[in-house]
Amino acid sequence: MSFPRTKPIPPTHHDILTDRPVGHIATIRPDGRLSVNPVSLMWDGTHVRVSTVKSRQKYRNLVHDPRVAISIPHRNNPNRYVELRGIAELTDDPDRSFINSVARHYMGVEVYPFDTPGAERVTITIHAEQVSANVMPLADNPPSAPDRTG
C-alpha cells in the first residue's frame, strides 16, 4: 500500500508531542460506527506512532479500514491540542522494540510490563493527510486552567 506524505506539525505545537501526551484515537468499526480510545504515543518529529495488540478492536478496525484520526491535547491545558486525520500503517513489533520505547518514555522502565503471554504487538504509524493545530484565544492562559502543582 502506498501512504500519503505526512503533513508537518507546526513548531508551535511540538511541545505537546514531546511531553508525555495521551491522545484519543478514532477508528471506524466494520459496522460504520466510530470507536475512540485513549492511547500513549510517540512522535519522531514526523510521524505519530501508537502501539497496540492484534486482539484489540482498534487493530481489527484499522485492518478493515485504515482511516484514522487522533486528537492530542496538551497534558495540562486541553485548550491547546493537535489533531491528525489520515491513514494508519500497521507494522508488526515482534521484538517489542517500539512498545519498550513507549515504556521507557512514559514509565521509566526498560520492558513494557503489561502484555499477556503470546500477545502480538503492532505499531500504528499515522500518515497525516490533515493537521489541525490552531492557536486559540486564551490557549496559554485559559480561565478554567487545571490547578497547577508544585
Q: What is the pLDDT of residues 85-115, one digit of tens each?
A: 999 999 999 999 999 999 999 999 999 999 9
The DSSP secondary structure of 44-80, one letter per residue, reads -SS-EEEEEETTSHHHHHHHH--EEEEEEE-SS-TTS
- The answer to whether residues 87 and 68 touch, using CB atoms and an 8 Å cutoff, is yes
Fold of 11-126: Pnp Oxidase; Chain A (2.30.110)
pTM: 0.88
Q: What is the pLDDT of residues 26-62, one digit of tens each?
A: 999 999 999 999 999 999 999 999 999 999 999 999 9
Provide the residue ranges of all domains of the chain, joining segments of one domain with +. Answer: 11-126
Contact 128, 136 (CB under 8 A): no
What pLDDT, on the 0 to 100 scale, is given for residue 67? 97
List Cβ neighbours of 92 (8 Å cut-off, separation of 6 or more): 120, 121, 122, 123
Q: How far is CA 56 from CA 16, 64, 84, in A?
A: 26, 13, 21
Q: Per DSSP, which regions of 93-134 are E strands?
A: 121-132
